[in-house]
Amino acid sequence: MITHTHRPLRVILYEGTGSIALPAESRAKVMMALLDKGYAVTRSGQGASAVPHDDRSLLVLGAFEGKAPTLEDATGQITIDTRDITGLAPDAIVSLVEKTRGDKPMNEPGKWKPWFPVIDYTRCTNCMQCLSFCLFDVYGVSEDNKIQVQNNDNCKTNCPACSRVCPEVAIMFPKYQGSPINGDEVNENEAKREKIKVDISSLLGGDIYSTLKDRSSAFKSRFSKERSSDKALDERKKCLTKLVGDGFIPADVLASLPSTEEILKKAEVAKAKAAAALAAQ
Amino acid sequence: MPDTPTILYCRCAYAQVVPAGVKNEVLGKLCESAASFETVSDLCEMAAHRDPRLQAIASCSHLRIAACYPRAVHGLFQQAGSPLPENAEILNMRTQTAAEITDALLKS
C-alpha cells in the first residue's frame, strides 16, 4: 500500500463574521487553482456542516481588511495560520498559499495516476480468481480470509485486466472510461455474458477454486491431471494475449511480466493462499 | 444544526475522467451559493494513500458528495477502511448534469 501521504495544509476560505466575502467568480478561480494543485479547500460560509478536522495545519484565508486575527488551537495540537487576502487577485491568493506551504512536500496531480482496483464487496463472492490472475501481487487475503487489495501501488497503470476476468464484475477501476469497470451499475445480462467469456477463455484458476470449495478429493485428483502447470501457463498466455488484443492490457504491462519460472511460482503461492482462505471459510 | 448536510466536492484532478465542463460548473454554482462546503483534489488519490481525512469525511452523519459513480465512491471509502454511512447521497458528475447535481447538493 502507498503510504506517503503528503498533504500538509487544509486551506480554509473563511467568509464568516469579520471577513468580507470574495466575488463568486474569484472564489471559484481560487478554489479551482488550489484543487488542481492538490490542496483540500474548505469554503466556510453558511448553511452546511464542516468536516471534522484532522491533524493537518490550517491555513485560514479571509478578507480581513488588514486585520487578520491570530488564532490558536484550544488543544494545542494544530498550527493555525491566518492570512489577509483583502484586494488580492486569485493568482496572488494561490501564490500566497504556495509561499505559506514553502518547501513542505505535497502530492500533486499530474505526477501520478491513482490507478488500482476497488472491490465491490456487495458483488464479490470471494472466489479468488483475481488473486490467481494478477501477476503483480496486488491482491492478498485478509486475516478473516477475504480477498482484498493489499498492494495497490503494484498495479500497472491503465491495466484493468483483473476486472475483466472477475466472474461477478466486482472489480472496479474508478479512473477507467468504460462501463461497468468504471463503477457504473452492472447490467446483469452483460454480467452473464462476461462470465461466459471468462469460461471460454479457460482462465487459469477458472475452476480451481470452485473445486477447492466443494472439496471433492476425486475431482481434485482429476483436476491435478488436467491442469498441469504447463497447461495452466499456456492458458494464462492465451488469455493475456487475448486481453492485449482486445485493448484491455497495455503492451508495456505485457512486456513487464515476470519470467515463466516466476509466474509459475506466483501461481503456486496464489493457489496456496486461496486454498487456505477458502478452506477456512 | 445536526441535520445540516455536509457537502463534499471531488475535483478528480489526478486523472480528469470527470468532464471539465460539468465539474467546473458544479464548483462555480457552489461558489455562487452562500453554503459552506468541502473540496478535495481527488478521492481516488486519497483512498490510494488511505488518507485519514476520509475517515473524518465518513464520520459526517449527513453527507452529499459530488464525485463519480456511487458504486465506485462507496468502494473507495470502504477499501480505505472508512465506509460511508448508508444515507450518504452521491451525485455523479460523469453522468448527471451540473444543474441536477447542484440542485441536489444545495436543496434544503
| Cell numbers found for residue A248 | 484491455
Pick from A74, A101, A128: which residue ends a domain? Answer: A101
> CB–CB of B75 and A119 under 8 A?
yes
Helices A260-279, A229-245: inter-axial angle, 10-degree rounding: 100
CA distance B93 to chain A (A): 12
How many CB atoms lie under 10 A from the CB of residue A114?
A: 26
- Select the residue of A25, A40, A55 nearest B41 (Cβ to Cβ): A40
Task: Write out pLDDT tens, residues B12-61.
Answer: 999 989 999 999 999 999 999 999 999 999 999 999 988 888 999 999 98
pLDDT of the residue at A201: 37
CB pair distance less than 8 Å for B17 and A174: yes
| pLDDT above 70 as % of chain B | 98
pTM across the whole model:
0.83
Mean residue pLDDT across chain B: 94
What DSSP element (H or E) covers A59? strand A57-62
Residues of chain A with pLDDT under 70: 1-5, 46-49, 55, 193-240, 242-244, 247-248, 254
**Calpha distance B40→A139 (Å, rounded):** 27
Instruction: Tell me the residues of chain B between 64 and 93 that have a Cβ less than 8 Å away from chain A.
Output: 68-73, 75-76, 78-79
User: What are the residue ranges of helices labelled H in chain A?
Assistant: 24-36, 90-101, 129-133, 161-165, 188-200, 208-214, 217-226, 229-245, 251-255, 260-279
Q: Are residues A219 and A94 in the same domain?
A: no
How many A-B residue pairs are in contact by the CB < 8 A criterion? 177
How many domains in chain B?
1
Write down the pLDDT at residue A206.
42
How far is C-alpha B80 from the chain's CA centre? 16
Residue range of the domain that includes A262 = 118-279
| Within a domain: A106 | no
pLDDT of residue B99: 97
What is the rounded distance in angstroms from the CA atom of residue A38 to the CA atom of residue A201? 42
Q: Is residue A113 domain-resident?
A: no
Closest approach of A173 to chain B, Cα-based (Å): 8
Rounded to an integer, what distance in angstroms lies between the CA atom of residue A64 and that of residue A87?
10
Which residues in chain B have their CB less than 8 angstroms from residue A177's CB? 17
Domain boundary pick from A76, A101, A126? A101
Measured distance CA(A10)–CA(B49) in Å, rounded: 17
The confidence band for B72, taking pLDDT boundaries of 50, 70 and 90, is very high
Q: How far apart are CA A39 and CA A41, in angstroms?
A: 6
Cell for A83?
Answer: 492570512
* CA dist., res. B103 & res. B106, Å (int): 5
Q: What is the pLDDT of residue A111?
A: 82
Are A199 and A66 contained in the same domain? no
pLDDT of A237 reads: 66
pLDDT score recorded for residue A202: 41
ipTM for this prediction: 0.95
How confident is the model at residue A203, as a pLDDT? 43
* Cβ-defined contact of A40 to B53 (cutoff 8 Å): yes
Nearest of A9, A53, A16, A56 to residue A35 by alpha carbon? A9
Number of neighbouring beta carbons within 10 Å of residue A236:
22
Residues A64 and A122 both lie in one domain: no
Interface test with A, best of B18, B37, B55, B86 (most A CBs within 10 A): B37
Quote the pLDDT of residue A193.
Answer: 59
